[in-house]
Every structure is written in structure tokens, then in C-alpha cells.
Amino acid sequence: MAHPTRNRGRKMMGEINVVPYIDVMLVLLIIFMVTAPMLSQGVKVDLPKAAAEPLQADQDPLILSVDLAGELYLNIGDPQAALSPERVIELASAVMRREPERPVVVKADRAVEYGRVVEAMALLQKSGASKVGFATESPAGETVPARKR
């Protein structure tokens, strides 16, 4: 009498079909490649080139961007919304009260007139930032927050 639980005609398959896993991996790679450029934050500015030492900081800096038109943007809240000088002082003051040691950087387009950059720095100092650094572009083409002065 044969045992009912044995299947003599079937063999155990010891292989794994990896084709579906490769398909899933390729779809995830495409999704990553499409979304990665959208993750860059801030306003597009043409930074001046300078060979400066990078800022050594444990936390992300508070960045005040000044675009070619002289509009002000902060990297907190909505980084794409232009802010009035009063709103910049209000937001930056709140950040500086919570984190007084947070690095502060001005990121200005190279074509912006010098007076507008000085006004931006003054706004940050009114907000409680004792040291303000400048973001520059290294000769190799990467953005580098410069050491604070």
C-alpha cells in the first residue's frame, strides 16, 4: 500500500526565479532617478567662485538666499517663497532663539549688487546671528559654505 502523502512524480525545485526581483529593482531605480533632482532645496543662484575652506557644522545651516532680482528666501518654511525683510527677521529670530549655535550662511547670486547682500547680512544680525558665513562655489563647481568671519 502506497503512502498517500508522498508524491513520487514531483521533484523539489531548489532554484529561485530572480527575474521578478530584477524588474522591481529597475522600477525602483527609475523612480529614484526621476525624483532625485527634485530633492534639491533652495533657490537657484549663480554663486561666485572661491577656494574657501568648508564650514564644519554638526547641523544644517540657516541659509538666506538672495536671487538675481534681489528677492530674499530662507531654507525654512517654504524655500521657494520670496520673503519681506520683516518676515526674514521674524523667522530667523525664531530659529536663533531655539538654536543659538546654528550656523548662518548667506547664499547670493554673483550679479546681485553688494549693497543688497550687506542688507541681507544686517537682517540676519538683527535676528540674533552673531556670525554669518557666505556660500561660494568651489573652482570644481560644488557649493561650499565658507568659514564664518
- pLDDT per residue over 50-83, tens digit each? 665 665 556 788 888 888 888 999 888 787 888 8
Question: How do residues 93-126 score in pLDDT, each as one tens digit?
Answer: 998 899 888 888 888 888 888 888 888 888 988 8
89 is a domain residue: yes
SS3 28: helix
Is there a domain that residue 140 lies in?
A: yes
List the CATH number of the domain containing 74: 3.30.420.270
Does residue 130 lie within any of the structural domains? yes
Average pLDDT of the segment spanning 26-37: 87
Q: How far is CA 123 from the centre of its chain?
A: 22
Give the orientation angle of helix 85-98 with respect to helix 114-126, to 10 degrees.
40
Assigned domain for 40 exists: no
Task: Give domain status of residue 131, yes or no.
Answer: yes
- Cα 2 to Cα 61: distance, rounded to the nearest angstrom: 76
CA distance 121 to 89: 11
6: pLDDT strictly greater than 80: no
Q: Give the model's pLDDT for residue 28.
A: 93
Residue 19 lies in a domain: no
Structural domain that includes position 86: 62-145
Confidence of residue 20 (pLDDT cuts 50, 70, 90): confident
Give the count of domains, the chain. Answer: 1
In a domain, 34, yes or no: no
Residue 46 lies in a domain: no
